Amino acid sequence: MFEKTITELSAALRAGEFSSVELTQAYLDRIKQFDGDLNSYITVDAEGALATAAEADKRIQAGETGPLIGIPIAQKDIFCTDGVKTSCGSRMLDNFIAPYDATVITRMKQAGMVMLGKTNMDEFAMGSSNETSWYGPVKNPWDLERVPGGSSGGSAASVAARLAVASTGTDTGGSIRQPAALCGITGLKPTYGRISRFGMIAFASSLDQAGTMTRSAEDSALLLQAMAGFDPADSTSADEPVPDYSATLNDDLTGLKIGLPKEYFGEGLDPEMEKTINAAVDEYKKMGAEVVEISLPNTHLAVPTYYVVAPAECSSNLSRFDGVRFGHRCEDPKDLEDLYKRSRGEGFGDEVKRRILMGAYVLSAGYYDAYYLQAQKIRHLISDDFTRAFKEVDVIMGPTTPDAPFKLGEKASDPVSMYLSDIYTIAVNLAGLPGVSIPVEPVNGLPAGLQIIGNYFAEAKLLNVAHRYQQQTDWHRAIPEGYDV
Amino acid sequence: MQWEIVIGLEVHAQLATKSKIFSGAATTFGAEPNSQACSVDLGLPGVLPVLNREVVTMAVQFGRAIEAELGYRSVFARKNYFYPDLPKGYQISQFELPIVGRGDVDIELDDGTIKRVGVTRAHLEEDAGKSLHEEFQDCTGVDLNRAGTPLLEIVSEPDMRSAKEAVAYARKIHQIVQYLGICDGNMQEGSFRCDANVSVRPMGQEALGTRAEVKNLNSFRFLEKAINYEVERQIDVIDGGGKVKQETRLYDAGKNETRSMRSKEEANDYRYFPDPDLLPVEFDEAFVAEVTKDLPEMPDAKRVRLIEQYGLKVTEAVTLISCRTLADYYEAAAESAGDAKLAANWVLGDLLGALNKSCLKIETSPVTPVMLGGMIQRIVDNTISGKIAKQVFEAMWAGEGDADAIIEAKGLKQITDSGAIEKIVDEVIAANPNQAEQFRAGKEKMLGFFVGQVMKQSKGKANPQQVNELLRSKLAPS
Amino acid sequence: MSLERSDVEKIAHLARLAIDEDKVESYAADLSKILGLVEQMDAIDTEGVVPMAHPLHMSQRLRADEVTETDQREKYQRNAPQVESGLYLVPKVIE
């Protein structure tokens, strides 16, 4: 049951091999069994899940054939879920019961999916290791001493450990792709605007994008199909047609032009990681793809630019958490200023505070031009690098992360070294492009990810390219030891 | 020392939309607290703003009305600060690229000269909620119904040199937004608010003095009084060897004074930056043409036309155009009456008087323009006299029907039958031989006495002109 | 660029964040380090480059002026720390 893809599960549900209630219960049991160590869920909604599953069973019996009906999924705790606690990994929202559904949640409900619960994450999605969560770190199922990556660490770990069929994530600077790589699963961050941001708690509005965290590109295509599309409630939602993502999965890759940015293979990349990435690229050559070296000359500026733009937006986005209308409020505030300062001081953790301070600083009088405006201009240069590259190639490939999962606590005391673990993913968010990370041959027994970057709205192409690799290899089927039962 | 007063105004006009600027919540005034504050207005986690088309339309209409440059590409920015009535911790406003750029309005001064006042810009923004300080002992209550109501902030150049000029400018803006129908102009409900930037400088000095921003001016009268108070205060400060502080001051109408606002004491660093949840607002000439094709006539043009078309005096025209509905009423009444001058007299006289007395607005006048026009027709065709007309007007006001019905019912039709009038005239002369004698002896004033008597006898219905003529001929020395 | 204690205190006040007295120095050190990273941008000539606020080249979509929301006060205020008579309460503010 835990080996099956969504397509297989869907067929089994329709064939009556088991019901959605049985499937859901099995996953709930597994969560009970394994999540004590992993800590991948913040909230498990067994009651809600079983009720939805029972409804799904009725829909299936009534002849509905949607591929996602009755499939259990885990939602990142950044998506508002009506009536269910939505914490965003923060003490600030520990008491927050969302009064509405995010558009992503609404769409998945309509598709008949069963929400098992809400997954752990770095606080307000700020982190690359899941260590900033108020609810404690998530462990990497491949090695419990290591981090699962972040910020969608709970989503990645739950899928890797088979505690959910699939999960959702959000990606502001690599928060889907990096944990997907570190946990050995398939993580897709679509084009900015492809999936509605409504009801998704904002970190950095011009960078945030929801996506899928699945065991395969094939599953991702099904999930994306349900999530993607225009939403009138989000001004930044793209009114672009949504293609049939599953229809082109098997397209032939002969003549596919792959660009390898020389900047992604330089200093800082673990040589073992380089080897496994080259091996994956060789697999594509065997499938008839053509590989060329390209240059993205402003790559080194992506992290600095990001750490101006993202904190600036977050410092403003997080102002609404003030202890007045919802969320944490300090005890006995002596006046309004005390209410604000202590509620926020107590409600937010260190990393969130660092970013709020950084953001307030770069926007403050006298610094705006040197930092924020300069960052926005360089963002343009970074984006132009990709525009030029996509005139030559169909997709860009490289490592998702510079190295394999690091140990818990290893980078926690040094924010800058933590930030640099997103060095290959961040530029993609700045440009707003889609990217997917797929598992490749492990490095020293630990998961590694190949990042494939596509042009705007080229998700179908990315999934096609990812899927063909997964037809040739089995890395995406690997299950961490101890969870293969 | 001779001081020159320098005033610039920031006018916040609440745009008359059904829903809020970034959400689908209603904007109705006076609803239960927080019953019209939706998730977007409350700034709940994850919600996003979507711009109301109507506010763009209205801003463009305003821009065109003052012949301003239009921002074909404008950008919403966040103004960051913490306050309980500001749910998101930032106000969505426009900063570097406003939707309306530089324009001008002309104001008329007391001496009849026209002064041009520059409008620096007008930009769209969301209103904040309301803090209620009086309801609770140790707490302030926050009602966010008003949060997200669309505002057009109209910023003037520091072109005004007296409180009177400032009021004339404010009235002019008030007039324009009401003519356009983009703001209801209700100052009590806060739909039209003024903040005044006031400073003084020695006459002849180029550099501007330090200004204070005066808030809470919810009537034109308070605007004038607050500025006058503030000017005196600043001069006193300087005369006393002090310096005027750049600060925000609140006008207290009860005490007629301004005082420093504690909540605004600290110098703000608003950290403006483009709102990443919203995209640049872009429109083209075609959009502008579409939304301005049915633009109503603006007050200045209307004044010129009323004078030309109806032969009105300037003062009459100025009063009539002060409010678009009044001007519309007048034109409808004039058309129906067929006598524009007479219609102007009646509208500016009895009608406005009656409205004032009963605290009614022109829109809710019980006497419609057609009713008033119908009555005037009866004056023109000599069915009734002007004096009787007053009686008819009162009856119409009381809801007794239109003029013809009232004239008929009350038998107020003027007597124009010369035989009938002659009979009354004869009777009156016969009954007052002494007075007749005095008149004949040259006491011209006595004619008035006879007219009065005849009118009394005829219950006011005799045609005054005929009465006059008959009396003169009958009383003439034989 | 390195941040002083007083800089951290100033921006912490702007952002209405209480920072533990004994942590101010470490925030100053961390932020200085991040600024060090960010300062790589200084060397880049961006003369004439248009700032990019947004990844997609779209303009703002306009919504019809219609009331689509209903009163959800009760539901929304269930999350509120302190309400009375439908109002959100905060410590007394003096204007």
Q: List pLDDT tens digits, range B376-434.
A: 999 998 888 888 899 999 999 999 999 999 998 888 887 777 888 888 888 888 888 88
CA-nearest residue of chain B to C84?
A: B141
Q: What's the Cα-to-Cα distance from B109 to each of A106, A345, B114, B163, rounded to whole Å? A: 61, 56, 6, 12
pLDDT the model gives residue B182? 97
Nearest Cα of chain C lies from the Cα of B200 at a distance, in angstroms, of 26
> What torsion, rounded to 10 degrees, do the Cα atoms A168, A173, A175, A178 define?
130
Is residue B137 scored above 90 in pLDDT? no
Distance CA B194, CA B219 (A): 8
Contact A296, A259 (CB under 8 A): no
Measured between CA atoms, how close is A337 to chain B, in angstroms? 9
Residue whose C-alpha is closest to residue A147's, from A121, A163, A129, A134: A129
Provide the chain C residues 17-56 that lie in CB contact (below 8 A) with chain B. 53-54, 56
Average pLDDT over residues A443-452: 97
Which of C52, C58, C92 lies at the smallest CB-CB distance from A380?
C52
Helices (H), B118-219: 163-180
Contacts of B356 (CB under 8 A, 6+ apart): none
E-assigned strand segments in A285-348 = 290-294
Identify the residue with better confidence: B465 or C26: C26
Q: Is the pLDDT of residue B312 over 80?
A: yes
CA distance to A238, A325, B126, per residue, from C88 (Å):
36, 7, 20
Q: What percent of chain A has pLDDT over 70?
A: 100
Chain B residues in contact with C82 (beta carbon < 8 A): 139
Residue A62 one-letter amino acid: A
Return the residue matching tokens 């080229």: A458
Q: Is the pLDDT of residue B175 over 90?
A: yes
Give the dihedral sign, CA A317/A319/A322/A325.
Answer: negative
- Sheet-wide strand order for B192-202: B103-108, B114-126, B150-156, B3-14, B192-202, B212-217, B247-252, B257-260
Mean of per-residue pLDDT scores for chain A: 97
Residues of chain C in contact with residue A370, where contact means CB-CB under 8 angstroms, are 42
Find the mean pLDDT for residues A81-85. Answer: 98
CB contact under 8 A, C52 and A376: yes
A82 Rama class: left (phi>0) / alpha (psi -120 to 50) / beta: beta
Contact C3 A361 (CB under 8 A): yes
Residue in A102, A206, A232 nearest the CB of B46: A102
- Nearest by CB to residue A206, choosing from B43, B269, B276, is B276
Other CB atoms within 10 Å distance of the CB of residue B221: 12
Contacts of C61 in chain A (CB under 8 A): 232, 235, 239
Residue A305 — very low, low, confident or very high, per pLDDT cuts 50/70/90?
very high
For residue B362, report the phi and psi dihedrals to the nearest 5 degrees.
-55, -35
The ipTM (two decimal places) reads: 0.97
Contacts of A38 (CB under 8 A, 6+ apart): A138, A139, A141, A144, A157, A158, A161, A163
Query: Quick count: other Cβ atoms within 10 Å of Cβ A446?
Result: 18
pLDDT band of residue A256 (cuts 50, 70, 90) is very high
Could A99 and C76 be called an inter-chain contact, meaning their C-beta atoms sit closer than 8 Å?
yes
The reply to whether omega before B74 is within 30° of 0 (cis) is: no
pLDDT in tens, B102-124: 999 999 888 878 999 999 999 99
What CA–CA distance (Å, rounded) separates B94 from B122? 9
Please tell me the distance in Å from C71's CA to the nearest CA on chain A.
Answer: 13
Single-letter code of the amino acid located at A204:
A
Cβ atoms A93, A117 nearer than 8 A: no
Q: In whole numbers, what is the pLDDT of chain B averaged over residues?
A: 93
Quote the minimal CA–CA distance from B92 to chain C in Å: 14
- Read off the tokens for B328: 């519309």
pLDDT of amino acid B478: 58
CA distance B50 to chain A (A): 6
Across the range A309-319, mean pLDDT stands at: 98
Q: Are A90 and A349 in contact (CB under 8 A)?
A: yes
CB pair distance less than 8 Å for C69 and B271 = no
Distance between C59 CA and the closest CA of chain A, angstroms: 9
Q: pLDDT confidence of C84, banded at 50, 70, 90?
A: very high
Closest chain B residue to the Cα of C58, Cα to Cα:
B279
Nearest to C16 among A239, A303, A340 (CB): A340
Does residue C1 surpass a pLDDT of 80? no
What pLDDT score does A174 carry? 97
Residue among A128, A129, A158, A175 flagged as catalytic: A175
In the predicted model, what is the mean pLDDT of residues A308-314?
A: 98
Burial of A14 (0-12, 13-18, 19+ CB in 10 A): middle
- Pick from B329, B323, B361: which is nearest to B344 by CA? B329
> Inter-chain contact B271–A204, Cβ cutoff 8 Å?
no
Candidate list A90, A151, A158, A437, residue with the active-site label: A151
* Partner-chain contact B38 C82, CB within 8 Å: no
Closest by Cα among A404, A172, A385 to A261: A385
Average pLDDT of chain C, as a whole number: 94
Model confidence over A274-301: pLDDT tens digits? 999 999 999 999 999 999 999 999 999 9
pLDDT single digits (tens) A19-42: 999 999 999 999 999 999 999 999
Q: C63 and chain B: CB distance < 8 Å anywhere? A: yes
Please report the pLDDT score of residue B366 as a whole number: 94
**Cβ contact (<8 Å) for A319 and B88?**
yes
Determine the Cα–Cα distance for residues B372 and A76; give it in Å rounded to an integer: 70
Q: Which residues of C touch B23 (CB under 8 A)?
A: 69
> Each residue of B250-301: pLDDT tens digit?
999 999 999 998 766 676 899 999 999 999 999 999 999 999 998 999 999 9
Closest partner residue to C93 (CB to CB) among A207, A334, A336 is A336
Q: Closest approach of chain B CAs to the CA of A462, in angstroms? A: 27
Question: B388: which 2 tokens?
Answer: 């009787």
Q: Mutate which of C11, C78, C82, C93 to disrupt the A interface (most A C-beta within 10 Å)?
A: C11
Rounded Cα–Cα distance for residues A317 and B56 (Å): 25
Q: Identify the residue among C31, C52, C82 best suited for mutation to test binding to A, counting A beta carbons within 10 A and taking the highest.
A: C52
| pLDDT confidence band for A344 (50 / 70 / 90) | very high
Distance CA A402, CA A268 (A): 7
Distance CA B153, CA B10 (A): 7
C-alpha to C-alpha distance for A427 and A429, rounded to whole angstroms: 5
User: Who has greater pLDDT, A119 or A484?
Assistant: A119
A275 is catalytic: no
**Cβ atoms of residues C41 and C49 within 8 Å:** no
Does CATH place domain B418-475 in 1.10.10.10? no
The CATH number for A6-255+443-449+457-477, chosen from 3.90.1300.10, 3.90.105.10, 3.55.10.10, 3.40.50.300, is: 3.90.1300.10
Identify whether the C-beta of residue A148 lies closer than 8 Å to the C-beta of residue A405: yes
A151 a catalytic residue: yes
Task: Please judge whether B78 and A316 are an interchain contact, meaning their C-beta atoms are less than 8 angstroms apart.
Answer: yes
**Could C87 and B132 be called an inter-chain contact, meaning their C-beta atoms sit closer than 8 Å?**
yes
Q: Could you tell me if A450 and A180 are in contact, meaning their C-beta atoms sit under 8 angstroms apart?
A: no
**Which pLDDT score is estimated for A418?**
87
And the tokens for A291? 């590989």
Residue C17: both structure tokens together: 């964040």
What's the pTM value of the predicted model, to 2 decimals? 0.91
Of A231 and B409, the structure prediction assigns the larger pLDDT to A231
**CB-nearest partner of B269 from A79, A313, A364:** A364
pLDDT digits (tens, 9 = 90+) for C30-57: 999 999 999 999 999 999 999 999 998 8
Domain boundaries, chain A: 6-255+443-449+457-477
Whether the per-residue pLDDT at C95 is higher than 80: the answer is: no
pLDDT in tens, A160-179: 999 999 999 999 999 999 99
**Has A175 been annotated as catalytic?**
yes
- Would you state the torsion angle of the CA atoms of residues A423, A427, A433, A436, taken in this order, to the nearest 10 degrees? -10
Show residues of chain A in contact with B142, CB under 8 Å.
324
Q: What angle do CA B356, B357, B358 make, to 5 degrees?
A: 95
C-beta of residue A409 within 8 angstroms of C-beta of residue A144: no
Beta bridge partners of B212: B198, B247
Residue B466 backbone dihedrals phi, psi, to 5 degrees: -65, -40
Task: Note the pLDDT of residue B411.
Answer: 81
Q: Whose CA is closest to B212, among B143, B260, B256, B159?
A: B260
What does the pLDDT look like over B28-70, one tens digit per residue? 999 999 999 999 999 999 999 999 999 999 999 999 999 999 9
CB B413 within 8 A of CB B384: yes
